[in-house]
Amino acid sequence: MAFTLMEVVVSLAIVATIFGGVLLAYIQSARRAEWSGRSLAAQAQAIQQIEQIRSAVWDQQTTSGSLGIRDEVQNLVLQNKVTTSNGLVTGYSWTNLDLPSSGTNYVAATNFVRVQIISNFWPSFPAVTLRMIRVDTVWPCSWNGTNKLFTNTVCTYSSPDD
């Protein structure tokens, strides 16, 4: 039994449509996997920056017994670091994302850091001093043929060491 030319053309069109859909789905899943990898690497960079800040010594009383505040957050290595009198520290750092790469296809990300002292002095409660640490990691990814910037934000609080 032979097929007519019309049946062959219709079956080829159906196969081409299905094959095109499979290719489109494969390309989209590869793009999404690349975006997810970059997002997770940027999240790891933000958490690493947070942990670096949290590990800095912040004593409200020094160990020698004399009163004083020891705050080593002032020693952070940040570009354009600004420290105000009320304890606000801002600046940025950049590094390459921890992604597999070959040659020179590194992906750079920028960590924008903000460390702020928060205190409450309510009369009925004891004074509590906290440090709010916020890191915004900005990283690039090509999306639908254009380069776009994405941001991962991590925010946490820490208390003095004493």
pLDDT at 143: 74
DSSP codes joined into one string, the chain: -PPPHHHHHHHHHHHHHHHHHHHHHHHHHHHHHHHHHHHHHHHHHHHHHHHHHHTS-EEEE-TTSSEEEEEGGGG---EEEEE-TTS-EEEEEEEE-S----TT---EEEEEEEEEEEEE--TTS--EEEEEEEEEEEEEEEETTEEEEEEEEEEEEE----
pLDDT, tens digit (0-9, with 9 covering 90-100), for 10-28: 999 999 999 999 999 999 8
Distance CA 112, CA 149 (A): 14
Kindly list the domain boundaries of the chain, sorted by start residue: 5-158
As a whole number, the mean pLDDT across the chain is: 86
Q: What is the pLDDT of residue 121?
A: 65
Q: Which two tokens stand for residue 18?
A: 């299905």
Segment 92-107, tens digit of pLDDT: 999 999 888 777 788 8
Predicted pLDDT at 153: 96
CA 135 – CA 111 distance, rounded (Å): 6
CA–CA dist 96, 107 (Å, integer)? 5
Q: How confident is the model at residue 155 (pLDDT cuts 50, 70, 90)?
A: very high
The per-residue pLDDT for 105 is 80
Q: What tens digit of pLDDT does each residue of 103-134 get?
A: 778 889 999 999 998 877 666 677 778 889 99
Residues 27-73 have pLDDT tens digits of 989 889 989 999 999 999 999 999 998 888 887 766 555 556 777 88
